[in-house]
Chains A and B, each alone.
Chain A
Amino acid sequence: MIRLEKRPDPSRGWSLATPVVAVLATMLAGGLLFAALGKDPIVAIRTIFWEPLFGEFSFYYRPQLVVKGAPLVLIAIGLSLGFKAGIWNIGAEGQYIIGALTGAGVGLAFYPTESVFIFPLMVLAGALGGWAWAMIPAILKTRFGTNEILVSLMLVYVAEQLLASMSLGLLKNPEGFGFPGSRNLQQYDSAHNAELIAGSGLHWGAAAALIAVIFAYVLVNKHMTGFHIRLTGDAPRAARFAGVSPARLVLFCLGISGALAGLAGLFEVSGPAGVVSIDFNVGYGFTAIIVAFLGRLHPVGILLAGALMALTYIGGDIAQSNLGLPSAAIQVFQGMLLFFLLAFDVLTNFRIRLGASEVA
């Protein structure tokens, strides 16, 4: 019988080794999958993991990793704070949409005035929009005790309808010949979230993601609020005795995660995406939940997890085009990667013992 025995302290060695083991296991299982689909497994794995980083065109793909990973990290950092405290914001996708709408709305309201104040105002509006959307589940929870998972999730669908309505109505490009979608903010200098260094992929969203990582690290490890968050997650009753106000913590955690998701939406719409359109949102808010957990809710872990997810997206698209793999195969492959990362994590906290089990 195989038995798990809890380690007194998480193993540092394994905590670093498990991601590597998991990626290797995914390569093996994924290779089998690709072979079953009639593709050369080694070429396929190489294409997904190697090409974007060190391949012939990596000069282009490396910056793209930043573009793809930045919103994931930014949102995941915000979510991780709440998750630590047992506050479940599942609706980051909705806050991301609203942030983009309010931010882009402010920018478009000034069109075609050029001013250095426009972009900061948009950033403010984006953060406020996301924050306000997250305040709905937060206030309903603190006032009426409604479940924040349900309310935040429902608000994603409401936000999607609002997005469609805005792209077809209020924010529609008046010079767009009646087609849906807003003006392209990339072509409006004052509102354009351009690359900070050309060709680097580094835009304000990426900078904000890095700042958020540092901020979260300091908050959780050095600050009283961080201590309260951790305490509430580990021992809610003890937290109450320690004088933590659950309501205030709910407002704080949902507010921060909403504001960061809103910022991610604003940076995306004013930069890489450019336009408010019916299909503006592509699931970053949901993928970020996975990123938060893959990073074990630790800021640096989230940074690495975001980069890994971005790598599989970009490498996956290259594999589709170059090898003719269906996107479904890439999705299955990503699923496998997540499974292995989650499963092998057990080695960090537990020791595997062989022997007769006394309790099952």
Chain B
Amino acid sequence: MDLSAINPVQLIAFLMVAATPVLLAAIGELIVEKSGVLNLGVEGMMITGAIAGFAVTVETGSPAVGFVAAAGAGALLSCLFVVLTQFALANQVASGLALTLFGLGLSALLGQSYVGVKPPTTPKVEIAGLSDLPVVGPILFNHDLMVYFGIALVAATWAVLKFTRTGLILRAVGENHDAAHALGYKVVRIRILAILFGGACAGLGGAYISLIRVPQWTEGMTAGVGWIALALVVFASWKPWRALLGAYLFGGVTVVQLNLQAAGVAIPVEYLAMSPYLITIVVLVILSADKSSAPAALGRVFHASR
């Protein structure tokens, strides 16, 4: 056992990359849930974004275009959810699960000719001088653009929810859609926009996996990240910064357990492997003193009856 082999600086830098996909998807879902809609289709939208981003990047050679396409594809898939839940007023839990099933199948169909293809590399943002600084350099100044984008998105979401009128309206719709409707807000329109935003974010998260984190295309490669993103939103009590914390915590426990294995720590591996989930539960219990609860209208069907 040799714990000195674990380099904390590298670990943190690495964690920021590992947490990015789940963070992007979670922030999207957070906005969706703030508007009072529960979309369990995150996994389906992520994997669709993963193949769309991958295919477009391979065809155009530009990861930037690929990420835009991934966001578009995620949003497009979420349109199905919009039709089901906002127009046909179907149950949101079932619609979300159906969306995941559909997305997994669709992505596999679309991706058949992209197995074993190597995508163009996404460049890192290197800032002369800063990237080489000890400790701070690897952690803060040596990542690809999407890592910064993810953190910026957290900050922006927080600011919008807290300080802007848009945020206020979104929260009002999520808390009590009947009251919001009575006040003249377009409940359905606001929710549609939120769902599309959630789809786009999930698509970005998926593309981050297929283009940067792995990078390759294989069927089902998101391997459950979408579900973790859903859990993260609840974990974060619908607060953006806490979602960031949660993403780092969850990714961190996974990375630490792999590090401990490599260092030969004598804890049975299977218990290390289940530790991220157990620790999440424990933290959740600790945080349960915080009584800030879910948006009151979460998952409830809205129909404007005059």
Chain A interfacial positions (CB closer than 8 Å to B): 4, 6, 83, 88, 140, 144-147, 149-151, 153-155, 157-158, 161-162, 164-165, 286, 289-290, 293-294, 326-336, 338-339, 342-346, 349-350, 358-360
Say how far A97's CB is from chain B's closest CB, in angstroms: 12
Closest to A290 in B: B97
What 9 A-B pairs come out closest when comparing CB atoms? A335-B102, A331-B105, A328-B108, A293-B94, A338-B98, A332-B105, A342-B90, A165-B270, A161-B274
30 A/B residue pairs, CB under 8 Å, sorted by A: A4-B89, A146-B288, A147-B284, A149-B231, A150-B280, A153-B227, A162-B270, A162-B274, A165-B270, A289-B97, A328-B107, A331-B101, A331-B102, A331-B104, A331-B108, A332-B106, A333-B105, A335-B101, A335-B105, A338-B97, A338-B98, A342-B84, A342-B88, A342-B95, A345-B88, A349-B89, A350-B303, A359-B181, A360-B188, A360-B189
Given A4-B89, A162-B274, A335-B103; 18 other pairs, CB 8 A cutoff? A4-B303, A140-B281, A144-B285, A153-B231, A161-B270, A164-B270, A289-B97, A326-B109, A328-B106, A335-B98, A335-B99, A335-B101, A338-B102, A339-B80, A342-B98, A345-B88, A345-B90, A360-B186
A281 to B273, CA, bound (A): 18
A216 to B268, CA, bound (A): 42
Q: If A150-B235, A293-B91 touch, does A144 touch B281 (CB 8 Å cutoff)?
A: no
Closest to B280 in A: A154
Do the beta carbons of A150 and B234 come within 8 Å of each other? yes
Whether B115 sits at the interface, judged by CB under 8 Å, is no
Q: Is the interface of A mostly helix, strand, loop or mixed?
A: helix
A329 to B235, CA, bound (A): 35
Whether B178 sits at the interface, judged by CB under 8 Å, is no
Say how far A179's CB is from chain B's closest CB, in angstroms: 18
Mark B54-88 against chain A: 1 for CB-CB distance below 8 A, else 0. 00000000000000000000000000100110001
Choice from A158, A326, A335, A345 contacting B278 with Cβ under 8 Å? A158
A349 to B108, CA, bound (A): 36
Closest to A344 in B: B88
Say how far A283's CB is from chain B's closest CB, in angstroms: 10
**Across-interface contacts of B103 in A (CB, < 8 A):** 335
Q: If A328-B108, A331-B101 touch, does A145 touch B291 (CB 8 Å cutoff)?
A: yes
Whether B305 sits at the interface, judged by CB under 8 Å, is yes
Choice from A145, A154, A329 contacting B281 with Cβ under 8 Å? A154
For chain B residues 250-286, which have a beta carbon within 8 Å of chain A? 268, 270-271, 273-274, 277-278, 280-281, 284-285
Give the total of B residues in contact with A, Cβ under 8 Å. 52
Whether B175 sits at the interface, judged by CB under 8 Å, is no
A149 to B114, CA, bound (A): 35
Chain B interfacial positions (CB closer than 8 Å to A): 80, 83-84, 88-91, 93-95, 97-99, 101-109, 112, 181, 186, 188-189, 219, 224, 227, 230-231, 234-235, 268, 270-271, 273-274, 277-278, 280-281, 284-285, 288, 291, 294, 303-306
**Across-interface contacts of A83 in B (CB, < 8 A):** 93
Say how far A25's CB is from chain B's closest CB, in angstroms: 12
A237 to B97, CA, bound (A): 29
**Across-interface contacts of B268 in A (CB, < 8 A):** 165
**Across-interface contacts of A342 in B (CB, < 8 A):** 84, 88, 90-91, 94-95, 98
**Across-interface contacts of A345 in B (CB, < 8 A):** 88, 90
Do the beta carbons of A6 and B105 come within 8 Å of each other? no
**Across-interface contacts of A360 in B (CB, < 8 A):** 186, 188-189, 304
Closest to A161 in B: B274
Say how far B125's CB is from chain A's closest CB, in angstroms: 34
Closest to B99 in A: A335
Do the beta carbons of A289 and B102 come within 8 Å of each other? no
A349 to B88, CA, bound (A): 10
Do the beta carbons of A336 and B97 come within 8 Å of each other? no
Say how far A171's CB is from chain B's closest CB, in angstroms: 13
For A164, A330, A343, A349, the residue with the greatest tally of chain B CB atoms inside 10 Å of its CB is A343
For A327, A331, A335, A346, the residue with the greatest tally of chain B CB atoms inside 10 Å of its CB is A335
Say how far A290's CB is from chain B's closest CB, in angstroms: 5
Do the beta carbons of B109 and A332 come within 8 Å of each other? yes
